[in-house]
A and B are shown apart, each in its own frame.
Chain A
């Protein structure tokens, strides 16, 4: 199913889908939406990308971060070295050609990590109330407001956990299926 039109369109649309899915996640508390639906939308966007471009491409584009590193030269302070390190990674395209292959590191975000992170966040959102000596999963609402979000309470954190988990599960299954 590799057509240029589809793959180009999908490549452009996927970030848009992601923004939309986060929007759905955030509005869930007051309007139709929520973590489950948002996670499904986000996952479907990546699944379409997998259909159009293959799963290697999806994983490489959206779930892998390349980090370039240089050994610290003598005569350069640690601060300077790390500043250089950060700059190098932000302006990566210009300097990538000059670097050795050995000095590249890949940070890959696997769907299983998404699942684990989601479950972790959802559980943590419940334990916050334990610290305040209230029963498990008593929702906490901070006083301040953030312009778009409203008051970010622990239910939102819980929803975020559901979102990540659902996305991780679907991606894991689809990637495994596509691999064979």
Chain B
């Protein structure tokens, strides 16, 4: 399986190169790759269908349990086949859609990268590799949404999708790590065998974090808003990422973890509630939109909500229904997105009010749309019908949650039927004169993939035992962990209650369709509600965040060196004083008082020199004088170092003082004349800050001397520096040998700082440089 992932990554990064080599025929290798992966995955089919699983492991950081582990069971293989099979068609469709786009190579790079990441995600067995692939799908989704990067809305939407799903990804990582800690293993297949996690202390935090990750990824309320905005992406992307695969990653993870996390009431009711609200809200919003892609996006949200609801029901029947509906949804929704793209491509509009009766001009597309529409509405020989039947059965199974689950399924199902009629019938077969003209008929690459997918929906419905049952059966088994679970799909169940409900759904759907124009008229009246919707809250939040950080930076980084120094010094003193105030350590000042008697005359002289210099410094009005006096103070300090036996420090101090004076002198003639512009009070403010800092430092020094920590380090360095490092100057040996790595880091920082200083000096704002 590592070869699949590796081949995907390598090919994706080769795509721009291939584009340069092959020109527009770049699509040939890019289509062949997912096809090859699909075939390769099919070779695992016999093993998996026999009820076994495939496991592969590549050790990386085994001490941290970060390994590349793959695990292919029914569920993973089902998803992997869906991703690679769908990928093949989308790659072909992308060529038809983007045609001669100059960035076709880059597009294929992103798309293949996404496909590989998604495959890695569903096959991962290690939670860290799962997380890495998860984030990789978010990143590639960001790149794909922002593909039309010259468009501002594209950029905003891409950024929004990245922030929402990436933020959820971080929460997911926290949750997964908690899961790992709680179960003492970072391998998913090991974790899933553990049954007692529900009563663990970490269960609730882990659950909340994981749900956050899954809900953001799968566009559940209140995080759904990024998905409709993500429709800015080119249509192949919408069909692939934002309806069939990426948004199902959250569903995949929920299903995967349901034996471990499921069963508690929190799990059930959260999923039921969030999924239900999402399903109903998505359905209602879909009725109000007039853009085909927006309609499809909202029905996708609704379908995702329905899937989450089914996982929340937590019965085996519900999980089976979830899987069948997931497959059916991927098939018809992908088709419809591709159809919408083809219509957009040949008419230049996506507004439903401008599109009528296109069937005659684009027959293959119309047939695909009709097939998908029939499946979406849940008509008899299609997979969508079986999916809906199962959903109803599952919803009615548990009397406690019957009403909620049924209502959600019913509302979503009716709206699906209505939308299906709109997209599958009105767009293509209704007769009207005011339709947008078809500029050019869609090419084969635009209609073949949706046609294939639509036919697949029919074929899966006609022969469910043959095509869908075996793999879905194993997938259901791997979700529930129950190896005796049987999943058998049949098209015809007989005249049951469920069939009646199905028919009722259709009727309500048709009724809704009848009143759709009136609903569209009402839609603008509801705009007021959306001002407080999550999308606007998001934008307000981002704007507020940027604004406040701008203000904060403006306050903190105000460009005055003096206030930087004051801030640093005050923060440091404050922290030290707080610690001393809290711990109240003893400091015997009397001992030091007796030491004062030993003071030598020359020490007093240097001291007087320094103090006099400082007092003079505060009142002088000449820059040159202040620099010279500062030098005097510095040299006196160096003298102290020499007197107390630190020649290395003294030498450094002397040289630095010299350099400071020289650099000041170099700069001096460029500065304007020395004048006091600010209030005199400021001077005393800074004097006060300096005195506080000096006092703090004195206190700390006295204190550390009195409470010296006995450490073997001094003796160790004393011996080792001569015996092992062959040097008698301990300071230097520590710098270049014992702590050489630190020094290396410091000199690197020094070099970078110097480059920064030179850059600042070169800016030269007066001569028209950039400020």
| Nearest opposing residue in chain B for A150, CB measure | B726
B439 interface residue (CB < 8 Å to A): no
Residue tally, chain A, CB below 8 Å to B: 49
| Nearest opposing residue in chain A for B662, CB measure | A47
* In contact, A172 and B728 (Cβ under 8 angstroms): no
> A155–B744 Cα gap in the complex (Å)?
12
A22 interface residue (CB < 8 Å to B): no
> A126–B647 Cα gap in the complex (Å)?
28
* In contact, B655 and A29 (Cβ under 8 angstroms): no
Q: List residues of chain A with CB within 8 A of the CB of B666.
A: 51, 174, 177-178
Q: Nearest-CB distance from A33 to chain B (Å)?
A: 7
Picked from A112, A119, A141, the residue with its CB within 8 Å of the CB of B747 is A119
Of A37-45, A58-66, A83-91, which binds chain B? Answer: A37-45
* In contact, B648 and A162 (Cβ under 8 angstroms): no
Q: List residues of chain A with CB within 8 A of the CB of B751.
A: 115-116, 118-119, 165, 168-169
* Proximity string of chain B (405-423) to chain A, C-beta cutoff 8 Å, 1 when within and 0 when not: 0000000000000000000
* In contact, A29 and B652 (Cβ under 8 angstroms): no
A32 interface residue (CB < 8 Å to B): yes
A68 interface residue (CB < 8 Å to B): no
Interface positions of B from 626 to 684, Cβ below 8 Å from A:
647-648, 651-652, 655-656, 658-659, 662-663, 665-667, 670
B723 interface residue (CB < 8 Å to A): no
Of B24-32, B146-154, B567-575, B735-743, which binds chain A? Answer: B735-743
* In contact, A40 and B656 (Cβ under 8 angstroms): yes
| Nearest opposing residue in chain B for A169, CB measure | B754
* In contact, B729 and A28 (Cβ under 8 angstroms): yes
Q: List residues of chain B with CB within 8 A of the CB of A177.
A: 663, 666-667, 761
B757 interface residue (CB < 8 Å to A): yes
Picked from B659, B727, B740, the residue with its CB within 8 Å of the CB of A47 is B659
A67 interface residue (CB < 8 Å to B): no
Count of A-B contacts judged by CB separation below 8 Å: 128
| Nearest opposing residue in chain A for B721, CB measure | A29
* In contact, B659 and A44 (Cβ under 8 angstroms): yes
B762 interface residue (CB < 8 Å to A): yes
* In contact, A30 and B727 (Cβ under 8 angstroms): yes
* In contact, B725 and A174 (Cβ under 8 angstroms): no
Q: List residues of chain A with CB within 8 A of the CB of B202.
A: none
* In contact, B647 and A122 (Cβ under 8 angstroms): no
* In contact, B743 and A155 (Cβ under 8 angstroms): no
Q: List residues of chain A with CB within 8 A of the CB of B726.
A: 29, 141, 150-151, 153
Picked from B652, B744, B757, the residue with its CB within 8 Å of the CB of A123 is B744
> A140–B754 Cα gap in the complex (Å)?
31
A180 interface residue (CB < 8 Å to B): yes
> A8–B742 Cα gap in the complex (Å)?
41
| Nearest opposing residue in chain B for A24, CB measure | B651
Q: List residues of chain B with CB within 8 A of the CB of A77.
A: none
Q: List residues of chain A with CB within 8 A of the CB of B511.
A: none
Q: Nearest-CB distance from B138 to chain A (Å)?
A: 35
* In contact, A32 and B754 (Cβ under 8 angstroms): no
> A112–B754 Cα gap in the complex (Å)?
10
Q: Nearest-CB distance from A114 to chain B (Å)?
A: 10
| Nearest opposing residue in chain A for B726, CB measure | A141
B430 interface residue (CB < 8 Å to A): no
Picked from A34, A43, A47, A169, the residue with its CB within 8 Å of the CB of B735 is A34
* In contact, A139 and B737 (Cβ under 8 angstroms): yes
| Nearest opposing residue in chain A for B754, CB measure | A169
Q: List residues of chain B with CB within 8 A of the CB of A136.
A: 741
* In contact, A37 and B758 (Cβ under 8 angstroms): no
Q: Nearest-CB distance from B726 to chain A (Å)?
A: 6
Q: List residues of chain A with CB within 8 A of the CB of B740.
A: 126, 137, 139, 155, 158
> A2–B662 Cα gap in the complex (Å)?
15
A93 interface residue (CB < 8 Å to B): no
Interface positions of B from 704 to 747, Cβ below 8 Å from A:
725-729, 731-733, 735-737, 740-741, 743-744, 747
> A173–B727 Cα gap in the complex (Å)?
33
Q: How large is the interface on B (under 10, 10 to 19, 20 to 34, 35 or more residues)?
A: 35 or more
* In contact, A176 and B762 (Cβ under 8 angstroms): yes
* Proximity string of chain B (252-288) to chain A, C-beta cutoff 8 Å, 1 when within and 0 when not: 0000000000000000000000000000000000000
> A161–B423 Cα gap in the complex (Å)?
72
Interface positions of B from 171 to 193, Cβ below 8 Å from A:
none
* In contact, B764 and A30 (Cβ under 8 angstroms): no
Q: List residues of chain A with CB within 8 A of the CB of B663.
A: 173-174, 177
Interface positions of A from 134 to 180, Cβ below 8 Å from B:
136-137, 139, 141, 150-151, 153, 155, 158-159, 161-162, 165-166, 168-170, 172-174, 176-178, 180
> A41–B655 Cα gap in the complex (Å)?
7
Q: Nearest-CB distance from B660 to chain A (Å)?
A: 11
> A170–B750 Cα gap in the complex (Å)?
10
Q: Which of B731, B740, B757, B764 has the most CB of A within 10 A?
A: B740
> A29–B665 Cα gap in the complex (Å)?
34
A31 interface residue (CB < 8 Å to B): yes
> A37–B736 Cα gap in the complex (Å)?
13
> A136–B758 Cα gap in the complex (Å)?
32
Q: List residues of chain A with CB within 8 A of the CB of B761.
A: 173, 176-177, 180
| Nearest opposing residue in chain A for B758, CB measure | A176
Q: List residues of chain A with CB within 8 A of the CB of B727.
A: 29-30, 155
Q: List residues of chain B with CB within 8 A of the CB of A36.
A: 652, 735
Picked from A33, A116, A155, A176, the residue with its CB within 8 Å of the CB of B737 is A155
Q: List residues of chain B with CB within 8 A of the CB of A166.
A: 747, 750
Q: List residues of chain B with CB within 8 A of the CB of A153.
A: 726
Q: List residues of chain A with CB within 8 A of the CB of B728.
A: 29-31
Q: Nearest-CB distance from A150 to chain B (Å)?
A: 8
Q: List residues of chain B with CB within 8 A of the CB of A115.
A: 751, 754
B748 interface residue (CB < 8 Å to A): yes
Q: Which of A51, A155, A161, A172 has the most CB of B within 10 A?
A: A155
| Nearest opposing residue in chain A for B667, CB measure | A177
Task: Say yes or no: A139-B725 contact (C-beta < 8 A), given A126-B740, A169-B750, A172-B758.
Answer: yes
> A123–B743 Cα gap in the complex (Å)?
11
| Nearest opposing residue in chain A for B750, CB measure | A169
* In contact, A37 and B652 (Cβ under 8 angstroms): yes
> A162–B732 Cα gap in the complex (Å)?
12
Q: List residues of chain B with CB within 8 A of the CB of A155.
A: 725, 727, 733, 736-737, 740
| Nearest opposing residue in chain A for B725, CB measure | A139
* In contact, A34 and B737 (Cβ under 8 angstroms): no
Q: List residues of chain A with CB within 8 A of the CB of B733.
A: 29, 155
Q: List residues of chain A with CB within 8 A of the CB of B658.
A: 44
Q: List residues of chain A with CB within 8 A of the CB of B725.
A: 139, 155
Task: Say yes or no: A122-B747 contact (C-beta < 8 A), given A151-B726, A155-B727, A158-B740.
Answer: yes
Q: List residues of chain B with CB within 8 A of the CB of A30.
A: 727-729
> A171–B751 Cα gap in the complex (Å)?
12
* In contact, A180 and B764 (Cβ under 8 angstroms): yes
Picked from B656, B732, B758, B764, the residue with its CB within 8 Å of the CB of A33 is B732
> A125–B744 Cα gap in the complex (Å)?
10
Interface positions of B from 355 to 381, Cβ below 8 Å from A:
none
Interface positions of A from 67 to 107, Cβ below 8 Å from B:
none
> A162–B745 Cα gap in the complex (Å)?
11
Picked from B655, B747, B757, the residue with its CB within 8 Å of the CB of A44 is B655
Q: List residues of chain B with CB within 8 A of the CB of A37.
A: 648, 651-652, 655
> A136–B665 Cα gap in the complex (Å)?
43
| Nearest opposing residue in chain B for A141, CB measure | B726
Q: Nearest-CB distance from A50 to chain B (Å)?
A: 8
> A36–B229 Cα gap in the complex (Å)?
57
Q: List residues of chain B with CB within 8 A of the CB of A32.
A: 647-648, 651, 729
Task: Say yes or no: A44-B662 contact (C-beta < 8 A), given A31-B728, A32-B651, A180-B764.
Answer: yes
Picked from A29, A51, A151, A180, the residue with its CB within 8 Å of the CB of B732 is A29
Closest 4 CB pairs of A and B: A40-B655, A32-B647, A29-B727, A169-B754
- With contacts A170-B659, A172-B754, A173-B758 known, what are 7 further pairs, Cβ within 8 A? A36-B735, A40-B659, A116-B751, A123-B744, A137-B741, A166-B747, A172-B758
User: Can you spell out 9 A-B residue pairs with CB atoms less than 8 angstroms apart?
Assistant: A28-B736, A33-B651, A33-B729, A37-B652, A40-B655, A115-B754, A153-B726, A155-B737, A165-B747
